């Protein structure tokens, strides 16, 4: 699904490379261009009145930043910032709106990607309200391993963002996340090895068993696609 979507976008959008730390869409600003993630990660952030920044989520390959705001004619509710070096596809808003109105294939593919993103947000809400921090962390590790095709035994995982930002995603303090990792080490569910988190067996990790997991397949995985429409974690 993600590969087909990116191939469709590539017919109309210009490829660009960005380093980490570039703001693609400022919070509260009109959207004039859209950016689709071809590789890398972007983060959604929000500033409060005191200037404190909170990370709201991560998005990966396939995510189209600014699409909802452009379709509604609204400003961007949150900022979109490159979390890593990224290869993006840039699409002007007028061209995007024209495609939505006149190209049924494009409109249907975008609707599918939007549905996956909405499901991702629902999962995050459910996880924050129904599961404890350690469960959320275990499920996130499991999700990272499965969607990236890392195997099931002695799986080496790196957190996709710095420890502090990952803690924000889990809605805990960095110190509490460190304690979660230590507890999982004591339980034998993971170990640390030169910056990696190594999971001896994915079956030992807690996860929400009834949630669908979309294996991206070989073609998508080769390009770094998660299979969840650019959603990352939970």
pLDDT, one tens digit per residue, over 2-60 is: 888 999 999 999 999 999 999 999 999 999 999 999 988 899 999 999 988 899 988 88
Contacts of the segment 117-124: beta carbons below 8 A, 24+ positions apart: 117/59, 117/63, 117/229, 117/230, 117/231, 119/228, 119/231, 120/57, 120/228, 120/229, 120/231, 120/234, 121/57, 123/208, 123/211, 123/231, 123/234, 124/57, 124/233, 124/234
Where does CATH 1.10.10.10 sit in the chain?
Answer: 132-207
Mean pLDDT of the chain: 88
Which residues are CB-neighbours of 86 under 8 A, at least 6 positions away?
A: 17, 18, 20, 37, 38, 39, 40, 41, 42
> Which pLDDT belongs to residue 47?
92
Q: Answer whether CATH 2.60.120.10 is correct for domain 2-127.
A: yes
Q: What angle do CA 166, 74, 226 make, to 5 degrees?
A: 35
What percent of the chain is predicted at pLDDT more than 90?
A: 63
**Three-class secondary structure of residue 188 per DSSP:** coil
> Which pLDDT belongs to residue 11?
95
Of the candidates 204, 188, 141, the one whose C-alpha atom is nearest the C-alpha of residue 169 is 141
Q: Answer whether CATH 1.10.287.540 is correct for domain 132-207.
A: no
Distance CA(167)–CA(137), nearest Å, equals 9
Where does CATH 2.60.120.10 sit in the chain?
Answer: 2-127
Sign of CA dihedral 117, 41, 57, 195: positive
> Which pLDDT belongs to residue 219?
45
Q: Where are any strands of DSSP class E within 63-195?
A: 64-65, 79-82, 86-92, 153-157, 191-193
Among left, alpha and beta (phi > 0; psi -120 to 50; other), residue 35 is beta
> Which pLDDT belongs to residue 206?
92
pLDDT in tens, 82-101: 998 999 999 999 999 999 99
pLDDT in tens, 96-121: 999 999 999 999 999 999 998 888 88
> Which pLDDT belongs to residue 189?
97
């Amino acid at each position: 699904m993600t590969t087909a979507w990116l191939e469709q976008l590539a017919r109309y959008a210009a490829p660009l490379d960005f380093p980490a730390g570039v703001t693609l869409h400022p919070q509260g600003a009109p959207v004039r261009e859209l950016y689709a993630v071809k590789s890398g990660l972007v983060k959604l952030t929000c500033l409060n009145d005191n200037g404190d920044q909170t990370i709201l989520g991560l998005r990966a390959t396939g995510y189209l930043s600014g699409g909802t705001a452009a379709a509604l004619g609204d400003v961007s509710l949150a900022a979109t910032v490159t979390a890593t070096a990224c290869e993006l596809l840039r699409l002007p808003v007028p061209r995007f709106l024209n495609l939505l109105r006149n190209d049924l294939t494009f409109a249907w593919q975008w609707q599918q990607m939007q549905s996956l993103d909405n499901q991702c947000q629902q999962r995050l809400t459910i996880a924050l309200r129904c599961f404890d921090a350690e469960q959320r962390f275990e499920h996130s590790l499991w999700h990272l391993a499965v969607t990236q095709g890392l195997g099931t035994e002695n799986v080496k995982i790196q957190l996709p963002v710095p420890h502090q930002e990952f803690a924000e995603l889990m809605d805990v303090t960095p110190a509490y996340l460190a304690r979660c990792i230590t507890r999982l080490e004591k339980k034998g569910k993971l170990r640390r090895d030169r910056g990696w988190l190594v999971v001896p067996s994915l079956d030992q990790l807690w996860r929400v068993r009834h949630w669908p997991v979309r294996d991206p397949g070989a073609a998508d995985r080769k390009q770094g696609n998660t299979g969840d429409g650019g959603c990352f974690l939970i």
